[in-house]
Amino acid sequence: MLKKLCNKLGIELWFSAHLAYGFVQLVFILIVMPAFVAERTGSFANAGLAMGFFGVAGLAAPIIGLLADKYKAHRLALFSLV
């Protein structure tokens, strides 16, 4: 049934992984992360900083990817995630 629906819509079934990741990134993290950081640190300012860093990382990701492609530094970009 799901495969028929995907074929009818012209999408592949593996796109559901991207849908799940998008849901987690855009909904779950935005709700849970501030409360988690505030509970751990006792400061809502730290929660705001954590959300700010999360946003900056999202904006920097395409630039880092572009630089990794340009200079063939994919391993360095992946290592920097650690």
67 contacts 73 by C-beta, under 8 angstroms: yes
pTM of model > 0.75 = no
Of 6 and 49, more confident = 49
CA distance 61 to 12: 25
pLDDT of residue 57: 87
Joined together, the tokens standing for residue 73 give: 């530094």
Domain ranges of the chain: 2-79
Taking only the tens place, the pLDDT of each residue in 30-82 is 889 999 999 999 999 999 999 999 889 889 989 998 999 999 998 888 888 76
Asked if residues 50 and 34 have their Cβ atoms less than 8 Å apart, the reply is yes
Per-residue model confidence as pLDDT tens digits over 20-31: 888 888 888 888
